[in-house]
Chains A and B, each alone.
Chain A
Amino acid sequence: MNHREPDRIPLDFGSTSVTGIHVSAVAALRRHYGLAPGPVKVHEPYQMLGLVEDDLRAALGLDVIGVFPCRTMFGVPADNWKEWNFHGLDVLVPGGFRTRTESNGDILVYPEGDETAAPSGRMPVGSAFFDAIVRQPEIDERKLDPADNLEEFAPIAEEDLDRIERSVRSAAASGCGVAATFGGTAFGDIALVSAPFLKEPKGIRDVAEWYMSTRTWRAYIHSVFERQCEIGIRNLARIHARIAGAVDCVYLCGTDFGTQTSSFCSVATFRELWFPYYKRVNDWVHGNTSWKCFKHSCGSVERFFESFIEAGFDIINPVQCSAAGMEPAGLKRKYGSRLVFWGGGVDTQKTLPFGTPQEVREEVLRRCEIFAPGGGFVFNSIHNLQAGTPVENIVAMLDAVHQFNGVAHA
């Protein structure tokens, strides 16, 4: 992360909610490597991400460990594990995870585990993870109050600080690099706008309404971001007071600015609406901690890279090379000395799920040749390993990286 070439490319799978592995793939990998059988923990039920335990991390030769938010996307802590059967696979889910199966087979999940509230997530038949159910109260423009969109941003509770401190100390003791997610600093992450973790979200919660609001009600959005920024920095300061340099990087922001072929806004809009808040958060981090700032954005986002760098982001993920203008060699040449590429290792829209192991291997080796020189590269696929990805392709990917690294593994 300091742009000095290490002895080998570090690998991450599982340290964040954007570099993770679907629970079914975790189970398949455990079987493949002959690890202890038993149900895998779903640490993030929204995307059904499986926990990469120490034995699997060692088997895969991974170098990064994650510290996860205090609560899952459905507003309950990832603890008090209980068994749940998911598409025939026995898994463990948080004790507060409550679901109901509809007559057509869709699975509904309740916010904060409260079955008296309206469900906030749905997994349709044929899908392998949840999507948010939009619960948008009627919007009266005259009564819009930024406080309504700030319910989820509050001073962190002492018990949560205790929990974070314990998680960080445990992760740091592993000897791996530590990537932590504390939450609260994303600014308009569309996955969070609909607030599947809240029982009764208020304000602007519909995805399309939110996008339109960034143009029509910009002063309102600024008010939300302004207050969120103050709260977020104060929370980071209190967390830092507990853990200091025990984490290496912080996943600060998952707001997507890219689509497959274009972006969600112009660079000018980004600089007017988002840039000031990102800069304030990143400036605080760089001025007060040793942490590196991790930014996730899917899609075609090369146009924002100069702004991301100027705003103080150190790391970009998932480096979606399959999107327009995201050609890997060009990205490395232009930004490789200033941005760490955490991802981009293999395409997850085509090559990894549908290619042959040989095609996976060739793509991985090509990407390593491009991204590794001079450092600034953490190997990860382009976003999470999805359900249904052939395990032999995942193994081919890992073997290729280890071969590139000159390391005999697993």
Chain B
Amino acid sequence: MPDLDKLHEAVVEGDSKTAAAVTHAAIAAGVEPLAIVTGYLVPAMDEVGRRFECEEYFVPEMLLSARAMKASMEIVRPLLAAAGTEPVGRVVIGTVQGDLHDIGKNLVASMLEGGGFEVIDLGANVTPERFIDAVTTRNAHVVALSALLTVTMTSMKTTIDAFQAAGLREKVKIMVGGAPVTQQYADAIGADGFGESAAAAVALARRLVAV
């Protein structure tokens, strides 16, 4: 039986090779895929989020930990799907139309995945129609909208309005985040929540799916 604490350590330290190796070994030894996620990956990414919040970690460390977590998830994800394991929730995430910045969005996506969510990442410069299509076809519970630019932040409102016009607004929770976004702006455009950081976004998504 491999030492699974090494998986926790590898994710926290951003060592993707070790994370993948320990995960392979654990699966081979018969460890339940869900136990790997809930017992090791989720706590590891919680620890990464904690270190980011208290400024022990910065963007480079977050990116490395996210990459290590993904290396493990790549192995575990197909097994979870095959077993029909339901995620904590299903989140469609993307940077809104007109905005190509995706580092913040990618970090939030990784933290959500590390938090036990199934994440459908639509990338950057995503039109309202693509968000709606993904929510409809993937039966998502939450939509996470990102924007870095003040000039593209208004696409968040356009997207929320499009959900309203499509009659889907009440079927999905919409959360927003990004440098220029504030709680006040989130309230003004009718979002269900605002996450100031990647860790805060995970906590918010957990609250939204629990409602």
Which chain B positions have C-beta within 8 A of A269? 58
Write the B96-109 contact mask toward A (1 if CB under 8 angstroms, else 0). Answer: 01111101001000
Which chain A positions have C-beta within 8 A of B60? 211-212, 214-215, 264-265
Cβ-defined partner of B55 (8 Å) among A211, A266, A388? A266
Interface-facing stretch out of B18-26, B61-69, B167-175: B61-69
Does the CB pair A207–B58 fall under 8 Å? no
CB distance from A196 to the nearest CB of B (A): 12
Interface membership of B151, Cβ < 8 A = yes
Given A127-B152, A212-B60, A264-B59, are A349 and B180 neighbors across the interface (CB < 8 Å)?
A: yes
Which chain A positions have C-beta within 8 A of B100? 122, 124, 127, 131
Which chain A positions have C-beta within 8 A of B58? 262-266, 269
Interface membership of A260, Cβ < 8 A = yes
CA distance A261 to B64 in the complex (A): 20
Given A126-B155, A386-B150, are A211 and B59 neighbors across the interface (CB < 8 Å)?
A: yes
Does the CB pair A208–B101 fall under 8 Å? no
Which chain B positions have C-beta within 8 A of A216? 14, 64
Interface of A, secondary structure class, is loop
Tally of chain B residues near chain A (CB < 8 A): 27
In the complex, residue of chain B having the shortest beta-carbon distance to the beta carbon of A133: B100
In the complex, residue of chain A having the shortest beta-carbon distance to the beta carbon of B185: A350
A-B pairs with beta carbons under 8 A, tally: 74
Tally of chain A residues near chain B (CB < 8 A): 31
Interface membership of B196, Cβ < 8 A = yes
Interface membership of A128, Cβ < 8 A = yes
Does the CB pair B150–A126 fall under 8 Å? no
Does the CB pair A127–B99 fall under 8 Å? yes
Which chain B positions have C-beta within 8 A of A131? 100-101
Does the CB pair A388–B151 fall under 8 Å? yes
CA distance A350 to B100 in the complex (A): 21
Does the CB pair B64–A215 fall under 8 Å? yes
CB distance from A22 to the nearest CB of B (A): 9
Which chain B positions have C-beta within 8 A of A126? 97-98, 152, 155
Q: Which residues between 157 and 191 of chain B lie within 8 Å of chain A, taking CB atoms?
A: 179-180, 182
Does the CB pair A124–B59 fall under 8 Å? no
CA distance A106 to B100 in the complex (A): 11
Write the A207-250 contact mask toward B (1 if CB under 8 angstroms, else 0). Answer: 11001101110000000000000000000000000000000000
Interface membership of A289, Cβ < 8 A = no
Interface membership of A353, Cβ < 8 A = yes
CB distance from A297 to the nearest CB of B (A): 14
Interface membership of A259, Cβ < 8 A = yes
Does the CB pair B98–A124 fall under 8 Å? yes
Q: Which residues between 111 and 151 of chain B lie within 8 Å of chain A, taking CB atoms?
A: 125, 149-151
B-contacting residues of A (Cβ < 8 Å)?
Answer: 106, 122, 124-128, 131, 207-208, 211-212, 214-216, 259-266, 269, 348-350, 353, 386-388
Known pairs A212-B14, A260-B180, A349-B180. 18 more at Cβ < 8 A? A106-B125, A124-B99, A126-B97, A131-B101, A211-B59, A215-B60, A216-B14, A216-B64, A259-B179, A260-B179, A261-B196, A261-B197, A265-B60, A349-B150, A349-B179, A350-B150, A350-B180, A387-B151
